[in-house]
Every structure is written in C-alpha cells, then in structure tokens.
Amino acid sequence: MATEDMAGGATRLRVVQSVAGRFIDGRHGDRVGLILFGTEPYLQAPLTADLATVHRFLNEALVGVAGTQDRYR
C-alpha cells in the first residue's frame, strides 16, 4: 500500500483513502465502519453514523497498523 505506482506517483493507500473518502461523503443517513487489513484485520471504527470520525480515521490510517503481509510471501 505504500508503493508509489499509481497515476501521478500516488501511493496505493492515498488512492484508497481518496476513493473511500468520497464514498463516505456520499453516505447520508447511513452507518459506516472501517476495517484495516494486514496480517490480521483491525477494527478501526465500528459501524457508526458519525461519518466525520470514520473519515478522519480513514485519512489517518497508516501502512502497518494491522501488521505487514510479509508472512504471505
């Protein structure tokens, strides 16, 4: 996710944050949650109607929080 191979030199994480952020912004009246994946899933935010907090957690997500995927190589 830290690899800069997307258009304009963006990392995969930045692209996901942008796309998922737009998705969250369009969810009016819905509940959303956020799960980060690495070697294990990590519940960053349970289902909630507090979209601003989930959006903030998404923007603050870092590569490696849920572990690396090295063990699968």
Q: Does residue 6 carry a pLDDT above 70?
A: no
Who wins on pLDDT, 73 or 18? 18
From the list 48, 44, 22, the residue with the least C-alpha distance to 35 is 44
Kindly give the interhelix angle for 51-59 and 12-25, rounded to the nearest 10 degrees: 170
Full residue range of the structural domain in which residue 61 is found: 7-66
How confident is the model over 14-59, as pLDDT tens digits?
A: 888 999 999 999 999 999 999 988 788 889 999 999 999 999 999 9
Sign of CA pseudo-dihedral 22, 6, 56, 71: positive
pLDDT at 13 (0 to 100)? 83
Please name the residue ranges forming H helices in the chain: 12-25, 51-59
Instruction: Report how far residue 41's alpha carbon sits from residue 64's, in angstroms, rounded to the nearest whole number.
Output: 11
pTM: 0.74
**Inside any domain, residue 58:** yes
**Inside any domain, residue 72:** no
Q: Does residue 72 carry a pLDDT above 50?
A: no
Q: How many domains does the chain have?
A: 1
**Inside any domain, residue 2:** no
pLDDT at 65 (0 to 100)? 58
**Inside any domain, residue 73:** no
